[in-house]
Every structure is written in C-alpha cells, then in structure tokens.
Structure 1
Amino acid sequence: MTAQDIKIQDQETCEKCASKMIVRKMSIRDNGTVHWKKIKQCIACRHWRPID
C-alpha cells in the first residue's frame, strides 16, 4: 500500500458529491453464511467504498 492509497482510504468526503462519508457495516451472504464488511458510505448519494 502506498502513501497515496492511505490518503484515499482516510478521506472523509465523497468523491462524487463532496458530502460527508460515515463508517458502516455491510452484510454479504455467501453460501448461507453472513459476513460483515466495513465500508465508508456517503450520507447524501449513498456511494460507498470498502475500508479493508
């Protein structure tokens, strides 16, 4: 991971609409089991990206 990647991950504003991003958990179903993934999601346009 480069320094530029870290800056992108730590960004608190959405690149689409410049609104605030919040940390959430998203459930992913895989063969009957549920996995939780941490994401950052925009409060305005709902655009999201994975944290890990």
Structure 2
Amino acid sequence: TREPTTALNTDELLHWLHRYNWHRPNGSLGSKPPISRIGLDRDNLLRLHS
C-alpha cells in the first residue's frame, strides 16, 4: 500500500475545513453553519465563498 502524499492530505483537509465551516449545520447556532457567526453581507460572502 502506498502512503498518501502530503498534497493529497492538504487537499482533503482544506475540503473538510470548508465543509465544516461553511455547510455543516451547528445545533448551538440554530442549525446554521459556523461561518454565519461572523455576519458577512452578501458581497463579502460571494467574495469568500466562490
């Protein structure tokens, strides 16, 4: 078996972090994702999440 490369691990971590912060509902935030706490307006949201 081949060991995973660092680049692959980094890509997977970045994908996981994105999903965790932008898409995963959080019970203590009323089922909103964690990113909702910083109060982005529509322009900033589109700039950060594209």
Greater Rg over alpha carbons, structure:
2
Greater strand share, 1 or 2? Answer: 1
| Structure 2 length-normalised TM | 0.28
Which structure exhibits the higher relative contact order, with contacts defined as CA atoms closer than 8 Å and separated by 6 or more residues?
1
Greater helix share, 1 or 2? Answer: 2
| Structure 1 length-normalised TM | 0.28
